[in-house]
Structure 1
């Protein structure tokens, strides 16, 4: 995979840890996409006993998932400990609620881990929910393989991620500035669908929509991206500071997109879901086929 796609996981963890305190104030897109994903669950019949929120961030989806599946245990997983800490504080609330939480039968469990190497047992969850996390992964094939592994047969993976047209205005603004990578790049929806099938998932459904946020200036765009920890973490990035002249050129190039007094910031939001199929006769839950060899009888 090209280094313009490859993300530095250590830098990403640090970025999201630093952003944990400011994340909720700037995560407008993340909340909107989570709400739209939740509407899609209205059409799916599922009664999970355990739900994994893979890449939970500060726990925005937790109240919705717990209300929808009150009998299920919710597992929140995130790469950044700071995000989990904020999610825990929000979920526990006041002193009385914290005490009740200790005795709650299906209380939320938290795991600090990587969705490309899920620290969960095989066939241990019935629903994996993942909102705007996959775009930070280096190998979606590994993510889907892990989802297949931890899902029970008949379980559902539902996710959202970002497609190639995301941040297209910002990418154009940095075009020709230098030889470095300045904006994260994202994988095409059709390639993700192919990866789902390759992982063994059944009946994948993929669709996409464009969501555009508007800002008064380029600095406000960058400020929001930094507030949610979404600044450039590609391996090909410039590790130093950008000079004043180069930044002024970026601003000037971004100004070409100004419309009705605002600068647009576009996101190509990709939605997908797929099922882990029930094993066929002679097939194990992980997809391997059992082949029986019978010795020939001797005369």
Structure 2
């Protein structure tokens, strides 16, 4: 069981639950772009999964889902969407066309099927999770779910936002004496530690910064509303009055307008890759190994022999 010390200290669990329930059934532009860049990284992965899972592709990116599907056309796909509205959209957008259910011509394959719902334990050779972790109030619970879904020797591909994200917006809020505009984002080294604690092996972490420019404060705020919500426990509480939008836009204009006349926002994007290792009982220690894990170890040892 996770404790409060395991959770990001600046995420309010109730706010995170509300966002999970009401997040728009849409793929933000930034998520699609990050998903495209993460899909490019699959060229360095030598394993071709027979089955893979996409964790919340509606928010993570439907176009990037298609890129991964194109890379592994014969693999079975599990689509995980906890919220009914987004599951309905996923079924509408990602279900194969009717003709894919017809018998394939002799000697030709139709490719892998698509399944909607929870991933059977240990059934996915890859788990794809684009831009999910930074909105989770208890990320270690999510990491355990991913670990459970993966087969032994399967791999996790994920992305999320890092601590430099929205630094210009944070500066503007601080200059105005306002509470933080967003919760703090976890550093990639801490994600690496959490992966190891969660049973993953050989985590590889990478980071890049993407800077977006906007002509007006209104357009900047529109982009932010598509991306997420402020989950900080010390955020503004309650309504701020009819004049708040004008005050906010004026503050952004004053404190974020650059020499080029644009309002800039930095997004630190973290990419992670990790394996689910073969379970091993430690010599000299009393430990419990499940029957499925024991079978996996035996099969692996025979394969090496």
The answer, yes or no, to whether TM exceeds 0.5 is yes
Residue 245 of structure 1: how far off its partner (Å): 5.2
Instruction: Look up the match of 2:274.
Output: 274
The total of aligned residue pairs comes to: 270
3-state SS, counterpart of residue 222 of structure 2: helix
Structure 1 residues 89 and 36, CA gap change in structure 2 (3 angstroms): same
Instruction: Look up the match of 1:79.
Output: 82
Q: Which runs of 5+ in 2 are unaligned?
A: 1-6, 103-109, 295-305
Post-superposition CA distance 1:243-271 (Å, at most 9, x none):
35554443344232212111011100001
| TM-score, normalised by the number of residues in structure 1 | 0.79
Alignment of 1:1-40 (within 5 A): 1=7, 4-7=10-13, 8-16=15-23, 19-20=24-25, 23-24=26-27, 27-40=28-41
Alignment of 1:95-114 (within 5 A): 98-102=97-101, 106-111=112-117
3-state SS, counterpart of residue 239 of structure 2: coil
Instruction: Give the counterpart of 1:60 among 59, 63, 67.
Output: 63
Choose between structure 1 and 2 for higher RCO, CA contacts under 8 A separated by at least 6 residues. 1
CA distance in 2, matches of 1:55, 1:191: 23
Give RMSD over aligned pairs.
2.8
Alignment of 1:155-194 (within 5 A): 155-175=154-174, 180-194=179-193
CA distance in 2, matches of 1:198, 1:2: 15
Q: Which runs of 5+ in 1 are unaligned?
A: 112-118, 289-299
Instruction: Look up the match of 1:90.
Output: 93
Residue 36 of structure 1: how far off its partner (Å): 0.9
2:157–2:274 CA contact under 8 A, matched in 1: yes
Instruction: Look up the match of 1:262.
Output: 262
CA distance in 2, matches of 1:224, 1:233: 17
CA distance in 1, matches of 2:215, 2:266: 14
